C-alpha cells in the first residue's frame, strides 16, 4: 500500500470459518460494525478493500505458512524442526488432525469472505466516484482469485464460496461437486473482472487511491491469469498475458539480486521487478501476529525470518541439491553466482563468505543455512524483519513466458528471456546454445534456471507437481536423491489434507485424497 496505515474495519459476518452457527450469530460485538451499518461512503469502501489486503500478512498466508508449505515440500529444503507439523508437511505425512493444517485454509477463507463482502456491498454505495468503485471491485476480484488459486493448489477440492453467508445453512458449504477445474474456472472469471477494472498503476488515477503503492494492478492480474493458464498446461492462452506484461515496459530486473530481499523501505520501493507483494514492516508493536484478526497493535513482521534462520528457529536448511545448483556455474568474471549468497548462508573464505547476520561467522562452518527471507546478510532482529514477500515478481514472469514460448514452438525467443534473467546474475551468454535445444533439453535447462533464480520462494514444489514429476518414476527417483523427504511421498499426498476439524464440523464437506 501507499505509505500510510491501512485502516482495518472488521465487519460482522466476516469470519472465514464455516462452523459459526445458531445463536452465536446473534452475538453483538461492540467493537465491530454490523454490515448493515457500514458501506455508506467511499472511505468505508476503501477501508473494506484494505481489510482484504490485511489478510496477506497473517500466519496462514505470506507471513509464514504459505511459503513454508511450498518450500518444505520442494527438494530445495529439508526440515529439521522439532515441530511435527513442519516435519510431516515436508515429508508428505502430515495428518488432517494436526491443527496447523487448517491455518492456511482458515486464513484464505478470511480473504475470500472479506472479498465477498466488498463485492456485494461496494456496488450498493450510492454516492461514490465510479472509477474508484471499479478499481476497488477489481482489487477484490483479484484478491479472491489469488486466495482460491492458492487454496486449490494447497488443498485441491475446497468449497467455492462466492457470497456472504446469509443463513445457518450457508455456513456449511459442500465441496462434493467441486474439482480443481471448477476452482480454476472461478479464478479465471474473477481475473477477467480484475483485468477489466484495474489500472496499470495508481500514479495516474484521480481519487482517494491516487498514488497508492502496493495495490493490485493490471500487470498483477495479467501475470496471475498467465500463471493460472500455465498451471493448466494451456500455453497458447497463457502466452499473450505474459507477453503483455513483459512488453509493457513497466517492469524490469533489479540490478542487484540481493536487494530483492532487503528490508530497507527505500531499496524495496526502488525495485523495478516487484509486481505484487505482501508488505511487512519493522514495527516494534507489542502483539506478535501468529494468529487471529490483524489489528493495529500487530508487529507485522515476516515470520520466515526467524523460521528459516540458522541462528533462530532453524526449522529448515537447504539441500545439497540446491547448493550444487547454485554453485554449478560461475559468472563471466569467474565469481560465484551472486544469487548463491542471497539464497544460502555458508562459510567459504575463498569465496569471501565469512560473515553471518552482520558479524563474523559464528555458526557451524560445515553446514549450510537459508539466507533468503532472513537477515543473514545484514543482521538485525528477526522478530522485527520487514522484508516484503514477493507474490509475483518480474523474473518469474520472464521464466514463465519463456516456458510458454518454448512449448508453443518458439525456443529462440524463449532462450532470450532466460538469458535476460541470467544477465542480471552476470552469467555467460548461452542464448544461442539454448536456442538450439529441443523442447526436452530446453525444459531441463529451464528447470535449472528457475531453481537458481527462484529458490526458496514457495514455487519449486508447484513446478514439480505441474510438470508431472511426481507421477514419473524416474523423476521421482531423482527428487528422492535430491531430498530424502520424498521417500515417503505416495500418490494422493500431492495436497495437504483438508483440516479434520472442518470435516467434523461441516457435514457437507468431503475429504480430499490426502485425508
Return the pLDDT at 33: 59
Domains belonging to the chain, first-starting first, are 1-173+468-515 (1.25.40.390), 217-462 (1.25.40.390)
Return the pLDDT at 19: 37
Query: Per-residue pLDDT tens for 218-257?
Result: 999 999 999 999 999 999 999 999 999 999 999 999 999 9
Query: Per-residue pLDDT tens for 4-26?
Result: 334 333 433 333 344 333 344 44
Mean pLDDT of 139-144: 98
Mean pLDDT of 52-63: 96
C-alpha distances in Å from residue 238, one per residue of 147, 182, 222, 229, 435: 20, 18, 9, 5, 21
The whole-angstrom separation of Cα 67 and Cα 33 is 33
Compute the half-sphere exposure of residue 421: CA atoms within 13 Å on the CB side of its CA.
26
Long-range contacts of 254-260 (CB under 8 A, 24+ apart): 254/424, 255/424, 256/338, 257/338, 257/339, 257/342, 257/424, 257/425, 258/338, 258/341, 258/342, 258/377, 260/342, 260/390, 260/393
The percentage of the chain sitting over the pLDDT mark of 70, rounded to a whole number, equals: 92
Label residue 34 by pLDDT band (50, 70, 90): low
Query: Per-residue pLDDT tens for 458-479?
Result: 999 999 999 999 999 999 999 9
Mean pLDDT of 429-438: 98
Return the pLDDT at 17: 43
- For residue 192, give the nearest of 141, 256, 135, 116 by alpha carbon: 141
Q: Who has greater pLDDT, 34 or 414?
A: 414
Mean pLDDT of 390-412: 98
Query: Per-residue pLDDT tens for 259-296?
Result: 999 999 999 999 999 999 999 999 999 888 777 677 78
Label residue 38 by pLDDT band (50, 70, 90): confident
| 8-state DSSP, 290 | S
Q: Report pTM.
A: 0.94
Return the pLDDT at 167: 87
Count of beta carbons in the 10 Å neighbourhood of residue 504? 12
User: Cβ contacts of residue 218 below 8 Å, gap of 6+?
Assistant: 195, 198, 199, 200
The whole-angstrom separation of Cα 313 and Cα 463 is 27
Residue 512 pLDDT > 80, yes or no? yes
Mean pLDDT of 92-111: 97
Return the pLDDT at 295: 78
Query: Per-residue pLDDT tens for 488-509?
Result: 999 999 999 999 999 999 999 9
Contact yes or no for 277/398 (Cβ under 8 A): no
Mean pLDDT of 110-119: 97
Return the pLDDT at 288: 85
Scored b (16 or more CB within 10 A) or e, 337-351 reads bbbbbbbbbbbeeee
Query: Per-residue pLDDT tens for 182-214?
Result: 999 999 999 999 999 999 999 999 999 999 999
Mean pLDDT of 365-392: 98
Which of 70-84, 160-174, 434-448 is predicted with the least confidence, judged by mean pLDDT?
A: 160-174
Mean pLDDT of 31-48: 82
Query: Per-residue pLDDT tens for 474-490?
Result: 999 999 999 999 999 99
Mean pLDDT of 430-453: 98
Return the pLDDT at 37: 75
Mean pLDDT of 44-61: 96
Residue 159 pLDDT > 70, yes or no? yes
Nine cell digits for residue 105: 485454509
Return the pLDDT at 410: 98
What does the mean pLDDT of the chain come to?
93
Mean pLDDT of 428-450: 98
Amino acid at each position: 500500500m501507499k505509505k500510510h496505515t491501512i485502516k482495518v474495519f472488521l465487519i460482522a459476518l466476516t469470519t472465514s470459518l464455516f462452523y459459526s452457527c445458531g445463536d452465536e450469530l446473534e452475538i453483538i460485538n461492540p467493537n465491530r460494525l454490523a454490515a448493515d451499518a457500514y458501506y455508506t461512503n467511499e472511505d468505508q469502501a476503501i477501508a473494506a478493500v484494505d481489510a482484504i489486503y490485511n489478510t496477506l500478512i497473517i500466519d496462514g498466508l505470506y507471513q509464514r505458512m504459505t511459503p513454508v508449505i511450498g518450500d518444505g515440500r520442494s527438494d530445495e529444503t529439508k526440515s529439521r524442526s522439532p515441530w511435527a507439523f513442519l516435519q510431516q508437511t515436508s515429508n508428505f505425512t502430515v495428518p488432517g488432525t494436526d491443527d496447523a493444517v487448517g491455518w492456511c485454509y482458515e486464513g484464505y477463507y478470511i480473504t475470500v469472505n472479506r472479498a465477498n463482502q466488498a463485492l456485494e456491498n461496494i456496488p450498493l454505495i450510492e454516492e461514490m466516484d465510479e472509477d474508484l468503485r471499479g478499481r476497488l471491485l477489481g482489487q477484490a476480484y483479484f484478491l479472491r482469485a489469488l486466495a482460491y488459486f492458492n487454496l486449490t493448489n494447497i488443498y485441491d477440492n475446497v468449497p467455492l464460496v462466492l457470497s456472504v453467508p446469509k443463513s445457518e445453512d450457508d455456513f456449511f458449504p459442500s465441496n462434493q461437486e467441486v474439482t480443481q477445474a471448477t476452482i480454476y474456472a472461478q479464478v479465471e472469471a474473477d481475473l477477467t473482472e480484475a483485468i477489466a477494472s484495474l489500472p496499470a498503476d495508481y500514479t495516474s488515477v484521480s481519487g482517494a487511491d491516487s498514488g497508492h503503492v502496493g495495490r493490485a494492478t493490471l500487470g498483477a492480474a495479467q501475470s496471475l491469469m498467465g500463471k493460472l493458464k500455465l498451471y493448466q498446461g494451456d500455453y497458447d492462452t497463457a502466452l499473450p498475458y505474459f507477453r503483455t506484461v513483459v512488453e509493457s515496459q513497466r517492469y524490469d530486473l533489479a540490478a542487484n539480486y540481493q536487494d530483492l530481499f532487503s528490508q530497507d523501505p527505500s531499496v524495496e520501493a526502488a525495485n523495478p521487478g516487484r509486481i505484487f507483494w505482501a508488505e511487512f514492516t519493522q514495527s516494534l508493536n507489542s502483539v506478535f501476529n501468529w494468529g487471529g484478526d490483524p489489528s493495529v497493535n500487530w508487529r507485522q513482521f515476516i515470520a520466515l525470518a526467524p523460521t528459516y534462520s540458522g541462528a533462530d528457529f532453524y526449522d529448515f536448511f537447504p539441500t545439497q541439491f540446491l547448493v550444487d545448483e547454485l554453485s554449478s556455474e560461475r559468472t563471466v568474471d569467474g565469481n560465484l553466482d551472486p544469487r548463491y549468497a542471497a539464497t544460502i548462508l555458508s562459510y567459504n573464505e575463498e569465496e569471501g563468505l565469512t560473515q553471518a547476520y552482520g558479524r563474523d561467522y559464528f555458526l557451524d562452518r560445515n553446514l549450510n543455512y537459508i539466507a533468503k527471507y532472513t537477515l543473514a546478510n545484514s543482521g538485525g532482529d528477526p522478530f522485527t524483519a520487514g522484508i516484503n514477500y514477493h507474490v509475483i515478481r518480474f523474473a518469474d514472469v520472464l521464466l514463465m513466458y519463456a516456458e510458454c514460448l518454448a512449448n508453443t514452438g518458439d525456443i529462440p525467443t524463449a532462450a532470450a528471456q532466460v538469458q535476460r534473467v541470467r544477465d542480471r546474475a552476470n552469467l555467460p551468454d548461452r542464448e544461442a546454445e539454448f536456442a538450439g535445444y529441443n523442447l526436452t533439453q530446453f525444459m531441463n535447462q529451464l528447470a535449472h534456471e528457475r531453481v537458481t533464480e527462484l529458490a526458496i520462494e514457495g514455487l519449486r514444489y508447484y513446478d514439480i507437481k505441474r510438470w508431472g514429476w511426481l507421477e514419473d518414476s524416474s523423476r521421482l527417483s531423482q527428487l528422492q536423491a535430491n531430498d530424502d523427504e520424498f521417500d515417503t511421498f505416495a500418490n494422493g499426498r500431492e495436497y495437504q489434507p483438508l483440516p479434520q476439524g472442518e470435516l467434523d464440523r461441516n457435514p457437507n464437506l468431503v475429504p480430499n485424497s490426502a485425508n
